[in-house]
Amino acid sequence: MTTATLPEAAISGDAHRISLIAGLRDTSVIVRRNMVRNVRLPQLLIFATIQPVLFLLLFNYVFGGSIGLSLGGAYGGKYINYLLPGMLVQTAMFSSMQTAIGLTEDLGNGVIDRFRSLPIARSAVLAGRTSADMVRTLFVVSLLTIVGYIVGFRTADGLPKLAIGLIFCVLFGFALSWVMAFVGLAVKTPEAANSAAFLPLFPLMFASSIFVPVDTLPSWMQGFAENQPVTVLADTMRGYVLGQEFLSTSPRSLTTLSLFSMFWIVVILVIAVPLAVRKYRRTVA
């Protein structure tokens, strides 16, 4: 038997940590991998798009009549103008669930174990996943905006402001993706991830200004509804796409709304990122 020897020099010159540059490179490799999956598994994109489009059409045509009436002459009397900005935020929220489901799939088939055995930054796998999901969210909300235009939505202040609104929306989805990364790693199976992810999203979604103005909600709910992130984000969107017509009825100015939105996005990230990375380091399939 011949005995091979290990290169001694290689052993001594060891970097314990991954440099920032290397970490970013690892992340970009994983972003690319996840984006390729999005393109090659078109069902993901199709269903991610069909569902919000259906929601938008159903809500607009089913509730549009009665709610539109109660909106009075505001928003050109068109519920779609009120609804679409909120639906964009809702879509970003649902889109973040895919982060949880995708991670549980990677856990189940051993891909996470492989990644964890490679000399890459601890955050790279999660950052790669959440970033790729952010790109997907951007695609879906853009498409939904186009559908909104087709059924009568119009911005008040032009495309640049609409773009800023969409950026807020997508960043909010990105922050929620990190929450969902934690959820996915904690529950470990796609089925459980699906139910677990809905739990926090549903009350936030309905006790918000997505579908109806907050002042139509029961008074005990209003304090929560006005300040919770979904309302703040939805109102910020409206501030950017509906302009003065919305802001004149809003207790907050566009600047306040934007800062409040950024506050929520940062708070969610500051809590969720370390939790998710910690969970990742300890999760074995």
Partner 1 sequence: MTAPAVRAENVVKHFGDVKALDGVSLTFEPGMIYGLLGPNGAGKTTLIRVLTTLLRPDSGSAEVAGVDVLANPTGARRRLGLAGQSAAVDEFLTGYENLEMVGRLYGLGRAEAKRRANDVLERLTLSDASARQVKTYSGGMRRRLDLGASMVGRPDVLFLDEPTTGIDPASRIDIWGLITDLVASGTTILMTTQYLEEVDQLATRIGVIDHGVMIAEGTSDDLKNQIGGAIIELMVRAGNRERVMETLRSSTSQEPTYDPVRDLITLPAPGGTADLFCVVRALDAIDITPLAIDVHKPTLDDAFLALTADQEVPA
Interface with partner 1 by CB under 8 A: which residues? Answer: 1-8, 11, 14-18, 22, 25-26, 29-30, 32-33, 36-37, 40-41, 109-111, 113-120, 282, 284
Of the pair 186, 259, the CB lying nearest partner 1 is at 186
Please state the closest distance from residue 145 (CB atom) to partner 1, in A.
28
Of the pair 18, 221, the CB lying nearest partner 1 is at 18
Of the pair 8, 255, the CB lying nearest partner 1 is at 8
Of the pair 190, 243, the CB lying nearest partner 1 is at 190
Please state the closest distance from residue 193 (CB atom) to partner 1, in A.
19
Query: Per residue, what are the HEC states of 260-284?
Result: HHHHHHHHHHHHHHHHHHHHHHHCC
Question: For residues 89 and 277, what is the distance between their CA atoms, to the nearest angstrom?
Answer: 25
Please state the closest distance from residue 108 (CB atom) to partner 1, in A.
8
- Contact yes or no for 263/236 (Cβ under 8 A): no
Nearest to 185 by CA among 106, 81, 128, 89: 106
Q: Is 247 helix (H, G, I), strand (E, B) or coil?
A: helix
Please state the closest distance from residue 196 (CB atom) to partner 1, in A.
22
Instruction: Please calculate the CA angle 225-228-232 and round it to the nearest 5 degrees.
Output: 95
Please state the closest distance from residue 3 (CB atom) to partner 1, in A.
5
Of the pair 72, 282, the CB lying nearest partner 1 is at 282
Of the pair 7, 72, the CB lying nearest partner 1 is at 7
Q: Which residues contact 234 (CB under 8 A, 6 or more apart)?
A: 85, 86, 89, 208, 209, 210
Buried b (16+ CB within 10 A) or exposed e, 100-118: bbbbbbbbeeeebeebbee
What are the E-state strand segments in 138-189?
none
Of the pair 106, 235, the CB lying nearest partner 1 is at 106
Please state the closest distance from residue 131 (CB atom) to partner 1, in A.
16
Please state the closest distance from residue 98 (CB atom) to partner 1, in A.
14
Question: For residues 215 and 221, what is the distance between their CA atoms, to the nearest angstrom?
Answer: 10
- Contact yes or no for 136/98 (Cβ under 8 A): yes
Locate tokens 């999660």: which residue?
A: 126
